[in-house]
Amino acid sequence: MEQLMDVEQLKKLTPEQQNQLIAGVKQQAAILNAQNLITELSEKCSNKCITSPGTSLSGGDKQCLTRCMDRFFDSWNVVSQTLQTRLQQEVGSSMASSSEFGSFS
């Protein structure tokens, strides 16, 4: 199991170590996000499209799954892009506010 670092340990990291740590956290977050996305997609589309369990999918089941997955990804992309735009706007307005009033450092 990986060891957690306290704030003082984080402050002692070199910039390169900080970048490596940030990259690792981003990678773990991306993996978790992908796992959650696949789980949600599987649950929603399977529950909706597979009406009778069996050893193979019917043509209707396959078509329903394909359409469901397409709609799910389209919706997810819209939500993701909207969130990203809003976050960028908030960061932009925060930067404008902080530069307007100076910094705390």
Q: How far is CA 101 from CA 48, 69, 94, in A?
A: 53, 48, 11
CA distance 31 to 1: 18
Domain with 65, as residue range(s), is: 16-49+58-95
Summarised one tens digit per residue, pLDDT across range 72-91 is 999 989 998 999 999 888 88
- Chain mean pLDDT for the chain: 85
Q: Is residue 27 part of a domain?
A: yes
Long-range contacts: 97-102, Cβ < 8 Å, 24+? Answer: none
Tell the residue number behind the tokens 């078509």, with chain if given: 63
Residue 67 scores a pLDDT above 80: yes
Q: What pTM was estimated for this model as a whole?
A: 0.58
- pLDDT tens-place string over residues 40-61: 999 999 999 998 888 999 999 9
Q: How many domains does the chain have?
A: 1
Is 68 within 8 Å of 45 (Cβ atoms)? yes
Residue 4 lies in a domain: no
